[in-house]
């Protein structure tokens, strides 16, 4: 657009960096803006009631969206755990990264499922029925995203 120049200076570059890294307002950002607006309004010329109601409706919608997002994340976690539980006793092959930069595959029978930070991980036993362990003797935990094959 002709006639419009970009904002320059320290404040402009900070604003650009902030908006580039986070283009959406959180509920706390929205509440902070609303509080600042109410604190700085002219008492002789207050904000129109309809604007206040519209802002509260927007905040309510934002809050409901966040609650739905949290519920969906909990559902995803529970669904992942249920899917993983169906793997117990099945033979799976996983592809794991090595220090050399290559991937290697490990095949075993899923022995147990553990949830860490909402994500399911599983341990496996080798063909002898012994747990597949790391160099310290601790059972290796595999992510379901590492699975490349599932058998009986």
Structural domain containing residue 121: 88-150
**Against a cut of 0.75, is the pTM above it?**
no
Question: 69: left (phi > 0), else alpha (psi -120 to 50), else beta?
Answer: alpha
The whole-number pLDDT of residue 17 equals: 44
The whole-number pLDDT of residue 19 equals: 45
The whole-number pLDDT of residue 22 equals: 52
Same domain, 94 and 143: yes
In this prediction, residue 14 has a pLDDT band, given cuts at 50, 70 and 90, of very low
Query: To 10 degrees, the CA torsion angle through 16, 22, 27, 30?
Result: 10
Domains in the chain, number: 2
User: Six-digit token pair at 126?
Assistant: 């080798």
pLDDT at residue 21 is higher than 60: no
Same domain, 34 and 59: yes
The whole-number pLDDT of residue 92 equals: 94
The whole-number pLDDT of residue 47 equals: 67
Q: Are 125 and 109 in contact (CB under 8 A)?
A: yes
Average pLDDT over residues 100-108: 88
Give the CATH number, domain containing residue 118: 2.30.30
Query: Among 37-46, 118-127, 140-149, where is mean pLDDT lowest?
Result: 37-46
CA distance linking residue 150 with residue 82, whole number of Å: 16
Q: Is residue 64 situated within a structural domain?
A: yes
CA distance linking residue 76 with residue 118, whole number of Å: 9
The whole-number pLDDT of residue 32 equals: 82
pLDDT in tens, 78-95: 888 888 888 999 999 999
The whole-number pLDDT of residue 116 equals: 87
Q: Is residue 15 situated within a structural domain?
A: no
Same domain, 95 and 107: yes
Q: Is residue 133 situated within a structural domain?
A: yes
Q: Is residue 1 situated within a structural domain?
A: no
Give the chain's length.
152
pLDDT at residue 10 is higher than 60: no
> Which helix or strand (DSSP H or E) is residue 103 part of?
strand 103-116
Q: Is residue 65 situated within a structural domain?
A: yes
Average pLDDT over residues 44-69: 79
Q: Is residue 93 situated within a structural domain?
A: yes
């Amino acid at each position: 657009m002709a006639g419009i120049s970009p904002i320059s200076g320290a404040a402009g570059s900070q604003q650009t960096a902030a908006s580039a890294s986070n283009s959406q307002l959180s509920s706390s950002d929205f509440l902070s803006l609303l509080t600042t607006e109410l604190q700085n309004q002219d008492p002789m010329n207050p904000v129109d009631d309809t604007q206040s109601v519209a802002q509260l409706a927007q905040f309510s919608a934002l809050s409901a969206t966040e609650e739905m997002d949290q519920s969906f994340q909990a559902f995803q976690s529970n669904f992942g755990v249920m899917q993983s539980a169906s793997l117990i006793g099945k033979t799976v092959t996983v592809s794991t990264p090595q220090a050399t930069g290559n991937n290697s595959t490990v095949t075993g029978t899923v022995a147990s499922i553990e949830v860490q930070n909402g994500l399911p991980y599983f341990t496996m036993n080798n063909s002898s029925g012994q747990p597949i362990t790391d160099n310290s003797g601790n059972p290796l935990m595999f992510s379901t995203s590492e699975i490349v094959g599932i058998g009986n």
